Chain A
Amino acid sequence: MTPAGSLLAAHDLHKTYGSTPALDGASFSVHPGEVVAVMGPSGSGKSTLLHCLAGIVTPDSGTVTYGGRELSAMSDAGRSALRRTDFGFVFQFGQLVPELTCVENVALPLRLNGVKRKEAEGTALEWMARLEVDDVAAKRPGEVSGGQGQRVAVARALVATPKVVFADEPTGALDSLNGERVMELLTESARTAGTAVVLVTHEARVAAYSDRDVVVRDGRCRDLEYAV
């Protein structure tokens, strides 16, 4: 039941918190290297969908399939490993480890995958240069601007060349100039590396950086690929 050629697909997801239905039959898919924007009103279930897709939240029913494997059939350890090796994350704010320098933050996913410190930080610096923040490498997150911090977070999400980057309102806290620069760098880097991006945003100008968009309303989203 997954659209042909999709890398990651969700089918008929339901998730209820207490008596609040957060997802009510949501279906979604993304192809390798594709940038898909997830839009919709506040509280419609966008973040919940993203968390289910990334295996952070388990849906009450429905399936999430990644590379032909069903996430719910995997062990917790298996899902964590998948998140480390295949997924990258960017959130609105508060995601960098405050005690580490920016370059250490960017290098973290590689370190967790067992890469030696020197090599990891070398690769991290390359990504920081690509995102134009190599000059803040030695600073701690508390000492850089919001826009710089967000680019550091994007570098961290991309450093381990994941197959999918999940971004939840990555530009939500930035002014439009900084927000657009972050989107430009994120989508360009992702396209160069062949990384798919699932981008939650309520801003149309941010969504315009995507290849395709999906609207979530009342916990449901119509992914046109399923409408065939």
Chain B
Amino acid sequence: MSIGHTLLGLLESGPRHGYDLKRTFDEKFGHDRPLHYGQVYATMSRLLKNGLVEVDGVESDGGPERKRYAITDAGITDVAAWLAQPEKPEPYLQSTLYTKVVLALLTGRDAADLLDAQRSEHLRLMRILTDRKRQGDLADQLICDHALFHLEADLRWLELTAARLGRLAEVVLP
């Protein structure tokens, strides 16, 4: 999963401090793996260098300086491109897909379109595997079948999520 894109996406609703970003990320996506502060600041300085965020203000009420980050137009374009680009189908990418769906809902983009694009990407790979299976020997068939069953499970999840987008939106939107 791309932490950079996810943090960028969270910035779309308005400028935030690093610690605020971390807290929101952990709350929405980091159930089993909260971010380290180090990860957040390393990511933010990379985004800053690439012009995807800018510093919106610096505060230091007595303590250490705290930067407030804002997303740039280039950053918004980058989030849009990430969401629109289907993931390479492979087992266990649910956490990335889940993040993309939630982020699309949070940023008011079309989550159904994203799921549809992913769906056709999965089916495209399944066609290739089916073709290979048809021409291959028994070993090829079994190996392809293993991948096909996993991809099919992903696809079922995509369908189910598509059918539950309305309810998911109610849960994740503030």
Q: Do A204 and B134 touch (CB < 8 A)?
A: no
B10 sits at the interface (CB 8 A): no
- B interface residue count range (under 10 / 10 to 19 / 20 to 34 / 35 or more): 10 to 19
Contact segment of A58-66, A78-86, A147-155, A207-215: A207-215
Main secondary structure of the interface of A (DSSP, over half): mixed
Main secondary structure of the interface of B (DSSP, over half): helix
- A interface residue count range (under 10 / 10 to 19 / 20 to 34 / 35 or more): 10 to 19
Chain B, Cβ-Cβ closest to A184? B134
Chain A, Cβ-Cβ closest to B112? A217
CA distance A209 to B148 in the complex (A): 12
Given the interface pairs A41-B159, A41-B163, A215-B116, the reply to whether A204 lies near B123 with Cβ below 8 Å is yes
Q: Do A205 and B163 touch (CB < 8 A)?
A: no
Q: Do B152 and A215 touch (CB < 8 A)?
A: no
Contact with A along B120-152 (1 / 0, CB 8 A): 101100110110001000000000000011011
B155 sits at the interface (CB 8 A): yes
Chain B, Cβ-Cβ closest to A187? B134
The residues of A that contact B163 with a CB separation of less than 8 Å are 41
The residues of A that contact B68 with a CB separation of less than 8 Å are none
The residues of A that contact B151 with a CB separation of less than 8 Å are 204
CA distance A205 to B133 in the complex (A): 12
Q: Do A210 and B127 touch (CB < 8 A)?
A: yes
Given the interface pairs A41-B159, A215-B116, the reply to whether A209 lies near B123 with Cβ below 8 Å is no
Q: Do B159 and A208 touch (CB < 8 A)?
A: no
Interface of B with A (CB < 8 Å)?
Answer: 116, 119-120, 122-123, 126-127, 129-130, 134, 148-149, 151-152, 155-156, 159, 163
Q: Can you identify 16 A-B contacts, CB atoms within 8 angstroms? A: A41-B159, A184-B134, A203-B152, A204-B122, A204-B123, A204-B155, A205-B130, A205-B149, A205-B152, A207-B123, A207-B126, A208-B123, A208-B130, A213-B120, A215-B116, A215-B119
Interface of A with B (CB < 8 Å)?
Answer: 41, 184, 203-205, 207-210, 213, 215
